[in-house]
Amino acid sequence: MAVSNVVPKYHLYGEGDGVEDFDFFHIETIPARSAPLGWMLEPHRHDHLIQILMPTAGHGWLKDDNGEHETTAGMAILTPPGVMHGWRFSPDTQGYVVSVTRDYLSEQGAEPAALCASDLHGTANRLVTPDPADRAHAERYLAEMAAEFDHGPQRRSIFRPLLTLFLVRLFADKPGHAMPDGARGFSLFQFRSLVEQHFKAERQPEFYANAMGLSLSRLNRYCRLFIGKTAAQALRERMILEAKRQLAFSDFSVSQIAYDLGFDDPAYFSRVFRKETGVSPLDFRLQQHPQR
């Protein structure tokens, strides 16, 4: 599988890199996409998606920047956004591929985010081999997610807890996800909970450091260890996620959303949103609802 000088990027493999839902989630079987293509997916990347591939039968060969790696049934392969990957599968391969955006994963709460933090901000594919009990649970959750995926609007509420359970089975207590040295006693859950309660009114990270009895520098150190970003970046990310939700799912005007998020000046809110997302609030809304 030769890697071209320019690695193509897709939304899902073979599909254009157009605008996708900011909280996109998807699951499909491995054969659904690879079998019609001769069981081969050329090297490519997804700039906005996290993918977790888990074969339940057969063999695979993952091609990435570090060479080619053989995979077997029961392994899980996590690919962070922007990381190159290509696949060859044996024709007897079965299994699933889960694709989600970072925004969607962040909505699952602190635990999945903490479990996957080092991988989601990484620059390489990660291969995990769960023990037999965790593998059995993970495969069951995948089958349940796939069965529920086509069930219309209610699929979102069903999919979320199954995804969380799946991630916990794959990543909890695995090497590379132990409590970082010097971070004993830090509660990511407490920080996330405080952010969830106060992000609209309190946008300064010092508020959260004080509430947790920490200096700002220590809070930032812990945040970098656990989620790969500073406290201020986590706050801004949560605010932008809320803005995206309201733009996509409410009829509030941009000014109303700005005021709800604690901005005194809607024009300043629009500048912040554009800086973080690359588009204006109105353009983002139009991307989510092209018919408007």
Quick: pLDDT tens for 118-137: 555 556 788 889 999 999 99
Domain stop point among 104, 137, 171:
171
Q: What is the pLDDT of residue 96?
A: 97
Q: Are residues 29 and 165 in the same domain?
A: yes
Residues 153 and 220 in one domain: no
Domain ranges, residue 201: 188-288
Express each pLDDT in 50-93 by its tens digit: 899 999 999 999 988 777 899 999 999 998 877 888 999 999 99
Contact yes or no for 7/60 (Cβ under 8 A) = no
For residue 73, give the nearest of 88, 52, 95, 91 by alpha carbon. 95
Task: Tell me the C-alpha to C-alpha distance, in Å, between residue 168 and each of 91, 179, 184.
Answer: 30, 15, 20
Q: How far apart are the first and last CA of the chain?
A: 43
Give dist(CA 89, CA 58) in Å, integer: 8
Model-level pTM?
0.64
Residue 159, pLDDT score: 82
Domain end: 115, 145, 171, which one? 171
Tokens of 52: 């977790």
Q: How confident is the model at residue 261 (pLDDT cuts 50, 70, 90)?
A: very high
Q: How far apart are CA 48 and CA 263, in angstroms?
A: 28
Name the pLDDT band for 180 (thresholds 50, 70, 90): very low
Beta-sheet strand order (sheet of 40-44): 40-44, 85-89, 59-64, 67-72
What pLDDT, on the 0 to 100 scale, is given for residue 98?
94
Beta-sheet pairing, 25-29 with 76-79: unpaired
Considering the domain boundaries, does residue 181 fall inside one? no
Residues 65, 199 share a domain: no
Q: Which residue type, as a one-letter code, is found at position 17?
A: D
Q: Is the pLDDT of residue 12 over 90?
A: no
